[in-house]
Amino acid sequence: MLDLRFIRENIDMLQEMLVNRGSNIDLQEFVKLDTERREILSKVEMLKNKRNTESAEVARRKKAGEDASEIIAEMGKVSAEIKELDAKLAEVEEKVTYFQMTFPNMYHSSTPIGKDEEDNVEIRRWGTPREFTFQPKEHWEIGENLEILDFERGAKLGGSRFVVYRGAAARLERALISFMLDTHTTEHGYTEHLTPFIVKRDICEGTGQLPKFEEDMYKTTDDMFLISTSEITLTNIHRQEILNESDLPKYYTAYSPCFRREAGSYGRDMKGLIRLHQFNKVEMVKLATPETSYDELEKMVANAETILQRLGLPYRVIQLCSGDMGFGAAKTYDLEVWLPGQNKFREISSCSNCGDFQARRMGLKYRPEGNSKSEFCHTLNGSGLAVGRTLVAIMENYQQEDGSFLIPEVLVPYMGGMTVVKK
């Protein structure tokens, strides 16, 4: 969330930012609402001063034994007008707050300007895609042939975009979660958490999922929400707290199932594990000072890269342009893994610095050393990794001509010594 004063004082700059983000938000509507709000506040303040003056005059007249009925009647009218204006003010402020809550973050000065994914910038690549002596299959074909992925029964249980993992696939998913968490906690300095999977509305508002993306969230009848990522819970752990600068940065990680309606993805990735309504993810979250947050972003990307490198999966790092970045991000890198079955790179991790955008929404601050005034933290989040997509990449990159696929060496201990998945 951007500060109201900042929006008010930077209309032209923000209008350009919205164009570069591909947003259709009408800033003039905000200007109109903000002007109306300030006019109402000014009028209410004037009327309250008048009421205070008249109240003092009533007291004086009563003390002097003089008639005050005329002034009392006038005070009644003033009070009624104040009540009416307060109701109008509440209505206008609700609209202003909604505007604030649905207004995207400012992008960082290093973010390339562009319209969509075609304008993203490739930063680097790692690994060389394998040359196959046979036509590589896509993961769902491999999984169905091995009888370890059951999309038909997944649909029977939950509808479209659900799957049942069976046998080696279920164990490999669990192995990947453990491997990722072990690497992030023992080598990268993250503290592991296990957080609620169902949260209150204000928790989703804090990280920016609500109100803008409510149609993508699964919701209970008592206004609770199934999390779409553990970024939501990890980032909110210290909401409405003031941390000491010496406590920063904080590194948190968690596994969670993620629940997404994928409302805007109709017709995309209908087959396979790429875009499910329920999937597993290991998340990384950092809380940092403004001075260190962009260095911490680079470290977070490197942490995600380590997982892919240990698994021997070719990938590339992409910096997202202004028009392709997420709502709350100031700067974003995507990691895209090579999928030979699709013959292209696909996103497997997204790492973002949100600046103080989320912290301002949730009241998350820190107190700089030697300073009594608190400031908003910077929050960062990244996939470390999307587990199902990692399984996809392993199945496709390590597949064999006979329909089996090999287990990456680092996962063999987690698989009880299993080195190959075959019938």
Residues listed for the chain: 423
Q: Consult the annotation and say whether 371 binds a ligand.
A: no
Does 383 belong to an annotated binding site?
A: yes
348 is in an annotated binding site: yes
According to the annotation, is 262 in a ligand binding site?
yes
Q: Catalytic residue at 60?
A: no
Burial class (CB in 10 A: 0-12, 13-18, 19+), 283: buried
For the beta carbon of residue 125, count every other beta carbon within 10 angstroms: 14
**Catalytic site residue from 93, 144, 192, 347:** 347
Q: Using an 8 Å Cβ cutoff, are 197 and 227 in contact? A: yes
- Contact criterion met (CB below 8 Å) for 273 and 163: yes
For residues 316 and 256, give the distance between their C-alpha atoms in angstroms, rounded to a whole number. 25
Among the options 260, 346, 360, 361, which is catalytic?
260
Catalytic residue, from 171, 346, 360, 389: name it: 389
> Is 381 marked within a binding site?
yes
Helical residues (DSSP H) of 22-160, grouped into ranges: 27-64, 69-102, 139-145, 151-158
261 annotated to a ligand binding site: yes
> Which position among 51, 201, 239, 275 bears the catalytic label?
275
Residue of 256, 293, 322, 350 marked catalytic: 350
Reply yes or no on whether 347 is catalytic: yes
- CB within 8 A of 267, min separation 6: which ones? none
Alpha-carbon Rg of the chain, whole angstroms? 27
Q: Is 23 annotated as a binding residue?
A: no
| CA-closest candidate to residue 319, choices 351, 346, 290 | 351
Q: Is 310 a catalytic residue?
A: no
Confirm whether residue 349 is marked as ligand binding.
yes
Residue whose C-alpha is closest to residue 272's, from 161, 193, 390? 161
Is 231 annotated to bind a ligand? Reply is yes
283 is in an annotated binding site: yes
Indicate if 130 belongs to the active site.
Answer: no
Residues at the annotated binding site for L-serine? 229-231, 260, 283, 381, 383
Q: Annotated binding site: which residue ranges?
A: 229-231, 260-262, 283, 347-350, 381, 383
Q: Looking at the annotation, which residues are catalytic?
A: 260, 275, 347, 350, 389
Residues at the binding site for ATP are 260-262, 347-350
